[in-house]
Amino acid sequence: MGRSPCCDENGLKKGPWTPEEDQKLVKYIQNHGHGSWRALPRLAGLNRCGKSCRLRWTNYLRPDIKRGKFSQEEEQTILNLHSVLGNKWSAIASHLPGRTDNEIKNFWNTHLKKKLIQMGFDPMTHRPRTDIFSSLPHLLALANLKEIMDHPCFEEQAVRLQAEAVQMARLQYLHLLFQPPSSTSSNGPNNITNNFTTADMDTINLLNSLSGSLGSASTSANQHPQHNLLQSVNDVSVPFSHLPDLQVPCTTTTQTSSLSINKNNMVHEDQEFSALLFSQSHESSDPNSPWFPSPSPTSATPPTRNGSISNLIDACSTSSYGEVVASVWPDLLLEDSLFHDQL
DNA sequence: AAAAATCCCAACCGCGTTTGC
DNA sequence: TGCAAACGCGGTTGGGATTTT
């Protein structure tokens, strides 16, 4: 569909708005409503195109706009929704009263995206990045590079850093297993029985070699490549305090929702959760659901999540964090007594 | 104190969709 | 039904503000 840009018209002002222009626009819309944006500039006495007026109004002058810093709750909402919706800024904005899509987009590009990258997560998929070097800034910060450089026993510190890197990678991997598949594939990397990407496999092999060098995992050429890492995750003591909150994005054909449960057993549901819970009773066998049962595991395959989305939601609503972890990943063994106390 | 680098966000651009004739 | 205008959205940019060197 062709359309000549309205701003191509000669003589129309562009660039920052002056207070006088703002005043004219606000006064006109208060008295008459915006009506046709194309006609508005002439009627309001503004030398601007309609599109410029619309943007100025919707992104800045509208009286219900909430300005100032984003709260922690708003930040978490954006992260949760972005993990489900992607760059659908207007859809995300509809869940944050008073915030504009433009403001959320800017906040994402200038803060949240960088934050996720620094934490070692891919900002588009919200999954841990699978190249080990992407986690380096975080790992170096974790190990405090200056402390290492200054320490007389540099080698000892290097070993500690390496151990922390392996532990961090394991935790990220664990987190990966709890993430929903990306929206571009209903059969994505989370189907952990058979759909690792090449990058995932590279990481797994690298981590297995690191694990081997630290003497914490057995190796066997006959096993599936991912088995060693998973075995080492099962073998190793993963501190309960390091487990992530369980995020459960739920998507139907008509709506999205999410629910999370943290280690204090606090369940947080978003606004559409009740409606979704109702709809799930009719869609629990949806094969595209991120929590649809995977094929039965064999002795050579890693642990498999079980449970349909409906019983997972039920579990989250009525169970402890530990019980939910156990229901999602029954083969996971954690040596932390706090975890087992919850079961 | 000044220059350079980086951050931040309002505004613009262009494309896809919707609407109305 | 087809076309053009209008609208809405997401990506990008320009330049002022802030921080670093």
Q: What is the mean pLDDT of each run of 10 residues along chain A (343 residues)?
A: 41 84 88 84 87 88 84 86 84 86 87 79 73 48 42 47 47 44 32 35 38 31 33 36 49 46 52 40 33 27 32 44 48 40 42
Q: Is the CB of A87 under 7 A from strand C?
A: yes
Tokens linked to A164: 């922390």
Predicted local distance difference test score (pLDDT) of residue A263: 53
Predicted local distance difference test score (pLDDT) of residue A259: 52
Q: Is the CB of A90 under 7 A from strand C?
A: yes
Question: Integer distance in angstroms from CA A90 to C1' C8?
Answer: 9
Predicted local distance difference test score (pLDDT) of residue A251: 40
* Protein residues with Cβ atoms closer than 7 angstroms to any atom of nucleic acid strand B: A 1, 3, 5, 7, 14-17, 51-52, 55-56, 59-60, 102-103, 105-107, 109-111
Predicted local distance difference test score (pLDDT) of residue A158: 46
Predicted local distance difference test score (pLDDT) of residue A63: 84
Predicted local distance difference test score (pLDDT) of residue A226: 34
Q: Is A246 helix (H, G, I), strand (E, B) or coil?
A: strand
- The predicted-structure confidence for A210-220, as pLDDT tens digits, reads as follows 333 333 323 33
Question: What's the pTM value of the predicted model, to 2 decimals?
Answer: 0.50
Residue numbers in A 192-251, CB below 7 Å of strand C? none
Please, where are the H alpha helices in A96-153? 101-107, 113-118, 136-143, 145-150
Predicted local distance difference test score (pLDDT) of residue A129: 64
Predicted local distance difference test score (pLDDT) of residue A197: 40
- The predicted-structure confidence for A128-147, as pLDDT tens digits, reads as follows 665 544 444 444 444 444 44
Predicted local distance difference test score (pLDDT) of residue A30: 85
Predicted local distance difference test score (pLDDT) of residue A4: 37
Tokens 């995992």 belong to which residue?
A217
Burial of A216 (0-12, 13-18, 19+ CB in 10 A): middle
Q: What percent of chain A has pLDDT over 70?
A: 34
Predicted local distance difference test score (pLDDT) of residue A82: 87
